[in-house]
Structure 1
Amino acid sequence: MKDLEGRVALITGSATGLGRSISVKLAERGADVIINYSRSSTEAEETAGLCEAAGAKAIVIKANVADPDDCRKLAEAAAPWGKLDILANNAGITRHARDHGDLDALSKADFMDVYEVNVVGAYLMLQAAKDLLVAAHDQTGRASAVLNTSSIAGVKGIGSSVAYAASKGALNTMTVSLARALAPAIRVNAICPGFIGTRWFRDAMDAESYQKVTRRIESTTPLAVASGPDDIADTAVFFLSDASRHVTGELLLVDAGMHLGKAGG
C-alpha cells in the first residue's frame, strides 16, 4: 500500500530502534524520508538503505536536536521538496537512576541534558520545521502530521529516572498545547510506549538482566507480550497517516496494557 506516496517525512533519532522502524514503515508506504542521527552514522546509513530498498528517497543528516542550528539544518533538508508532510520527534535520552527516592542520584546537569533533548528538542524541531509543515498543508489541504515519542513514564511517573519521567510528562503537556495552537494546518499527537525491546533498553543492563526484565514484562502485562520496535511503529504510522486525519492532541499508551496491571495482581 503506497498511500503516503509523494509525502516527505523527517524522523529524528532514526538510526536504530523505534526510529528506524518508523522510517522503514513510512518508506514502505511510499514516503520519502530524512533520517537523523547524532552518533550512529553506520546504522543511519543502514536505515537509509532499508528505506531505499522499499523504493523511497532517503537523506541522512547528522544533528543534535538540542541545538537550534542543527534543527534548522534538519528542516532545511526538506527544502528541495518545498514542504514537509510528516515530522516524528523520536530522539530521546535518559539518565539511569531507577531508585526515584535517591535524590542524590541526579544532578542539575542530568536534568538539563534530558530536558534539552526530550522536551526542548521536540519544540526546536517544530519551530524549525513549522513553515515547511504549513506549506504541505497549503499545497494539499491536508493537515501535516507531527508525532512525539513519549513514554508510559510520563503518565505513570515510572521508568529509568525521575528526570526521564518528568521530561516525558512535559512532552505530553506540550503535545496538547501545540495541537491546539497549530491547528488546522498541523496535527500533533504523542505515543506513550511501555517496554520496547531495543538496543537503547538493552544497553542499560547485562544480557541476563535484560532477559529477566523481558520475562517479567511478558508475565505481568495483560497481553502477555514484550513489545518490539515494529509493534510500536505500526501505531506511530497510524498517527502519521490519513487514518488519523481527524485526530490531534491525543496521547496514546502503547504498552500491551502495562498501565493496567494484571488482573488479580
Structure 2
Amino acid sequence: MNIDGAVIIVTGSATGVGASCARMFAERGARVVVNYSRSRDEAEETASACRALGAEVEVVQADVAEDAACRAMAAKAVDRWGRLDALVNNAAATVASDPFDLETLSAADFQKVFGVNVVGAYQMCRAVLPAMRAGGGGAIVNVSSNVAFTGGGSSLAYTASKGALNALTKALARICGPEIRVNAVCPGIIDTRWMRQTLGTDAYDALAARFAATAPLGRVATPDDVAGAVIWLVEGAEFVTGELLSVDGGIRLAGGARKPAAGSAS
C-alpha cells in the first residue's frame, strides 16, 4: 500500500505505541485519525506532532467498546477525506489482579477487558470494512501481545483477550481477502507509560531488567520498535495476511545461549 495520501485510523493513539504509529504514518504522508478515550491533552499533542510533519489530522474521542462510537469514528474519517485505507487496533485495557488468586478476577473484569481488546477491535473492523472495500482494499493491524503465547501478562483476563484477538485476526484474514489484509503484531515488554502504570514502576523496572538480560536483542522494545512493524505490515507486506508477528527481541527463544557482553569474563 502507498501510505502517502492514505487515510488511517489508529485507535488508542494518544500515547505509547499508538502515538508512534500516528507519527510514523504522518511522516510518510498519511492522513491520520488520532483516537483517545480519556487522554485528551496527550492526543492533542500527538496530533500537533503529526501536523508539524505536514499531515492532516482528525482527533476523535471514542471508546471502542461502544459500537456507535466505532461507527461514528469511521464515518468521520470518510466524511472528511472520502476514503479509508488502513486501521490499527491499538486501544487496550487491563485490570489489576493476582494470577495466583482467581478470586481477584471477576466476570465483570473479563467483560471490561474483552470489551475493549476483542469486541472493540471487532467493532472497529466492522465499522471500516465497507469504506475499505469501496476504495478497493486496505490493511488492518491488530496490536496484540506475546502473552498470548507465554501465558504471562498483567492479568488472566488480559492474557486471554490477546489470545482471542490473535484468533480473531486469523478469522478476519480468511473472510476479508483478497481486498483487505489482516495481521497482528505481538510485542513483549515495551517502555511505555501505560505499561509502567499498569505494573507499577518498581515491578516494571524489575521485569524489564529480567527481559533485557534474557532476550537475544538485550533490551525491551520502544514504542517506535513496535510501530515500525505495524508500518511494515501496512505498507510493505503486500502478500502477508493472517500472521501474528512477534516483536519481542527474541524473548521466545529464552533459555538458549547468548553471546557474552563485550568485556565480560568468559
What are the residue-to-residue correspondences of 1:36-75 with 2, within 5 Å? 36-75=35-74
The equivalent of 1:157 in structure 2 is: 151
Partners of 2:184 and 2:134 lie apart in 1 by 22
* Counterparts in 2 of 1:200 and 1:134: CA distance versus 1, 3 Å: same
1:95-152 deviation digits (Å, cap 9, x = unpaired):
122x423211100100000000000000101111111111221xxxxx3010000000
CA–CA separation in structure 2 for the residues paired with 1:125 and 1:206: 30
Which consecutive residues of structure 1, in runs of 5 or more, have no partner in the other structure?
138-142
Question: Match for residue 84 of structure 2?
Answer: 84
Task: State the Cα deviation string for residues 16-51 of structure 1 (Å, max 9, x = none).
Answer: 000000000011011000010000000000010111
When normalised by structure 2's length, the TM-score is 0.93
Structure-2 separation of matches of 1:136 and 1:94: 35
CA distance in 2, matches of 1:70, 1:195: 30
Q: For the structure 1 residues 119 and 206, does the alpha-carbon distance in structure 2 shift closer, same or farther, using more than 3 Å as the test? A: closer
Determine which of 206, 227, 231 is the counterpart of 1:212: 206
The separation in 2 between residues aligned to 1:63 and 1:208, in whole angstroms, is 32
Letter matched to residue 23 of structure 2: V
Among 218, 238, 254, the residue aligned to 2:232: 238
CA distance in structure 1 between the aligned counterparts of 2:51 and 2:112, rounded to whole angstroms = 33
Matched with 1:113 is 112
2 CA distance for matches of 1:49 and 1:262? Answer: 44
TM-score scaled by length of structure 1: 0.93
* CA distance in structure 2 between the partners assigned to 1:58 and 1:39 by the alignment: 18
Task: State how far apart, in whole Å, the 2-side matches of 1:136 and 1:13 are.
Answer: 24
Provide the rounded CA distance (Å) in 2 between the counterparts of 1:128 and 1:95.
27
Are 1:154 and 1:169, in contact at CA under 8 Å, matched by a contact in 2? yes
Unpaired runs of at least 5, structure 2:
259-266
Contact 1:221 1:262 in 2 (8 A): no
What is residue 32 of structure 2 aligned with on the other side? Answer: 33
Contact 1:82-1:135 within 8 A present in 2 as well: no
Contact 2:142/2:183 (CA < 8 Å) preserved in 1? Answer: yes
Q: Is the 8 A contact 1:198 1:229 kept in 2?
A: yes
Supply the AA of the counterpart residue of 1:127: R
Distance 1:206 1:106, change over 3 A: closer
Equivalent position of 1:140 in the other structure: none
- C-alpha contact 1:27 1:54 (8 A) present in aligned 2: yes
How far apart, in 2, do the equivalents of 1:103 and 1:211 lie?
Answer: 25
The equivalences for 1:69-218 within 5 A come to 69-79=68-78, 80-97=80-97, 99-137=98-136, 143-218=137-212
Mapped contact 2:58–2:77 kept (Cα < 8 A): no
Query: Is residue 254 of structure 2 the alignment partner of residue 261 of structure 1?
Result: yes
Aligned-residue RMSD, C-alpha: 1.5
With 38-47 and 254-263 compared, the bigger mean Cα shift is at 254-263
Q: Equivalent of 1:221, from 215, 221, 230?
A: 215
Structure 2 CA distance for partners of 1:121 and 1:222, relative to 1, 3 Å: same
Q: Which has the higher mean CA deviation after the structures are superposed, 207-216 or 50-59?
A: 207-216
Output the CA distance in 2 between the equivalents of 1:149 and 1:126: 13
What secondary structure, in the 3-state scheme, does the structure 1 residue paired with 2:198 have? coil
Cα distance in 2, alignment partners of residues 129 and 115 from structure 1: 20
- Whole-Å separation in 2 of the counterparts to 1:13 and 1:179: 22
**Distance in 2, Cα, partners of 1:103 & 1:209:** 20
Q: Tell me how many residue pairs correspond in the alignment.
A: 257
Task: Please report how far the alpha carbon of residue 206 of structure 1 lies from its aligned counterpart in structure 2 after TM superposition.
Answer: 4.1
- State the distance in 2 between where 1:51 and 1:150 align: 24
Q: Percent of counterpart pairs with the same letter?
A: 47
CA distance in 1, matches of 2:118, 2:20: 22
